[in-house]
Amino acid sequence: MIKNTACISILLFLTTFIAAQEEVEDKNNEESFFRHSISLGFSNSFIPNTIEDSENSVLLVPTFGLNYDYWLSEKWGLGLHSDLLLQTFEVEKEDDQELITREMPFSTALVVDFRPSPSWVFFAGYGIEWEQSKSFELLRIGASYGIELENNWELGFSAGYDYKINAFSTYIVGIEFTKKL
């Protein structure tokens, strides 16, 4: 199942990327929107059910994120959102209280973006968290608020939730720097 999902994810990303290479015409000299955006994020992931010193606790893990979004229109887009948790930790699985060790897990998700206003973006999607011992499928939802800067840059504040299916959950809060192309 995970191999099929990975193949489908890569195929959808490549299809989106190839389609994004087509030239967008500026109709009637109106200001056009940007079809591409690339974001680098610095976040903290809050992970409940972690085990420290044989006790259940909430762990705060530094996280790097890299996102690519292709905007089909001014309101709708598709994205590939990736995160790397920069720490090794133990977590208790939700379904059977099994302890699992996660060594710097990397997650990626294909998401659908919705922009109801120029500053807000909401996203939801499906992906996988990869780690050398065991990988988990995940569902991701979140939102970001962006402040326009010069030269098509944006400073954003984001919040998200990853539900690792039959495993554990992660809450992510951070800032991101986005270049619109």
pLDDT, averaged in runs of 10, over the chain (181 residues): 58 53 41 88 93 80 98 97 95 83 97 97 98 95 97 97 94 98 94
Residue 5's closest CA among 103, 166, 167, 130?
A: 130
How many residues comprise the chain? Answer: 181
- Look at residue 147 in the predicted model and tell me its pLDDT: 97
Which amino acid appears at position 152 of this protein? N
Query: Which domains occur in the chain, in start order?
Result: 2-20+34-180 (2.40.160.20)
Write out the H or E segment, with its range, that includes residue 105.
Answer: none
d(CA 94, CA 89): 16
d(CA 39, CA 106): 17
**DSSP, residue by residue, 2-69:** HHHHHHHHHHHHHHHHHHHTSPPP-GGGPPPPPSEEEEEEEEEEEEEEEEETTEEEEEEEEEEEEEEE
- Look at residue 94 in the predicted model and tell me its pLDDT: 78
- Residue 114's alpha-carbon distances to 31, 59, 92, in angstroms, are 20, 30, 33
- Look at residue 27 in the predicted model and tell me its pLDDT: 41
- Residue 179 tokens, joined: 């270049």
- Look at residue 10 in the predicted model and tell me its pLDDT: 61
CA 155 to chain CA centroid, nearest Å: 16
Residue 100's closest CA among 47, 145, 22?
A: 47
Rg of the chain over Cα atoms, rounded to whole angstroms, equals 18
